[in-house]
Structure 1
Amino acid sequence: MTRIFSSLLCLTAVLLGTGCSKKDNAGPGDGGWQASGNIYYDWAEGMGLAVTYRVDLGSGVRSKALGYNGDRHAWDISRDGSIMVQSLEDPNDYDGEVYRIINPQSGETLSEFRKRNSEVSNFTQPQLSPDKSRIAVPPVSDRGLLVMDLQGRLLKEVVTIGGKRVNGSIAWMPDNSIVCVAGSTVYRLNNQYTWGDVVTQMNFNDWNHLAASHDGQRLAFAGGKHIWMMNADGSNRVQVTTSNEEEGYPVFSPDGKYLLVGTNYDGEGNAIQNWELTIIPADGQQYNVTDGADKRVVQLKVKGSDMLQENCNDLMTWR
């Protein structure tokens, strides 16, 4: 990873495709590049209190999207950035959770409800549908995949598909259908969540973090310590990262042109999670994300940070 954005001026210029020379700041595609939107990510600062940062890729400015809250378990933000859902500890029920929907610009609470109880696993990660009408909750040890409306009414719980328990990560598709996993099979549920078509069979001992492009045409996932991409029907599966370390947690840019990935990845199963924020083109080519190996790979670095590269230790997304 040879190009680090060392100043706000250069970061902004490269993201806008102007200003800094190709030699000084090569980006995806071996030259100036354009990326838009906001990257949100969790990172522990100061005394180890985790906050959620937002980097505006148009200006290069980093700000806090969410301050520290010891009761917060997870969050998601709508694709248009207008609402954010958070899962929080229920102060009145040790085994319960509260879902709070806020305006991320003002911080105003728009609605709040108690999620249907899970007696074993009360740390859940709600995900907003593309049209902001529904919330999906990935399966936990004692509950299946939950789909509810924004008032908390349960619309559907999918526990098994084809006799196999639903497990692992999920991804919304543009028509409010959901891509999910049962055993080693990836399925696409219809938008009523009553049946599912097989997308592909996975042949990895360890894989996770299924993600979908916003147009629903492609999927990405982490498998065998690297990032892979395929068409939404499971065809044309290709490995798109390589290194001497591990990569994880792929996230598509809103326009589908890039992938945000975690490099030097210490994720699930590690006592302390930590990875670096790296961007590659989502063009099906393979990129070596080892430090100094490929000038087409972009490290995320912003002014005002002491980090050589921005790090994450929990959730991240691109809106």
Structure 2
Amino acid sequence: MSSNGATRRKQDKQSLHYIVRSGIAGGVAGSIAKTVVAPLDRVKILFQASNPDYSKYAGSWTGAFRAGAQIYRDTGIMGLLRGHSATLYRIFPYAAIKFMAYDQIEHILMPTRDQQTNLRRFTAGALAGMTSVFFTYPLDVIRVRMAFNTDTNHRPSFLYAISKIYHESATSAPASASTSTSTTASPASTLFSRFPILKFYRGFTVTIAGMIPYAGTSFLIWGFLRSRFLPPPPPSSKAKEKSHTVADLTIGALSGAISQTASYPFEVIRRRMQVGGLTHPDRWLGWRETVGTIWRVSGWRGFYVGLGVGYLKIVPMTAVSFTAWQWMKRVLEV
């Protein structure tokens, strides 16, 4: 009887009906969480990418609020939400794929509670995060470009940002730069000139590298703390899992804080590479040059610029995301 029940549960979790509902639950949860922190996300991107108009505010907890106040004075509430449309285009499929993938990978690696280990939780989270990034990364590049723009006379649209990225040059160096840099196109620049679609994957390798500690640690802490403090009812019980909103928010916040600390340097490097087409249109920015520039200008602290804003953003976002995910799973009976 128990064997038949286990087989039925396995078939249910791998059915298209379950996968679709799992994806919807994750997508809605991610969209809610991202909307809550959209203004802080705009400020954080400006800090990370060293936007010259706002770099003076970086380095302090109050700087984020002062930067947000300036954005509001200059462009109103829509300035705080610039790039958010692209965020929503990205975050729904991103969160849907991430949570759906985690459900499936968790079921494969940890089909029973006895098989749950911290290593498997970390592995499931890392694989789920990498899967979602692979399919949605171009949307993140577009979002960053829209948020990086601070021209009050021209608000870039989603389609304009796409066109700008697609047509920007990665090989033609200005004449003034030819005396100090080689005019010979690097293999990477030549590749991206021949295949412009790859320009939407600026910083992709560092994103994948950063996603491993971020998503892996996030799901690890989430799963570990829930197993310790919020154990689900036994499989033989017909009782439904109770809602623990406050506990979910607390555990989600801790997961976000720890995972953000572990992966933040990768995020700073990624942002610099993503806006490379604007700051260095004459060449392609790679890992080594980006890391070297950050180190020379700011030292190790440069890899944590905007971390205070990151905490202000990622802690409530992760808390809301995980909590809304659990709520949506109960609503959709996943």
> Higher Cα Rg: structure 1 or 2?
2
Instruction: Give the alignment's TM-score, normalised by structure 2.
Output: 0.26
Q: Greater RCO between the two (CA within 8 Å, min separation 6)? A: 2
Instruction: Give the alignment's TM-score, normalised by structure 1.
Output: 0.27
Q: If each structure's strand is expressed as a fraction of its own residues, which one has the higher value? A: 1
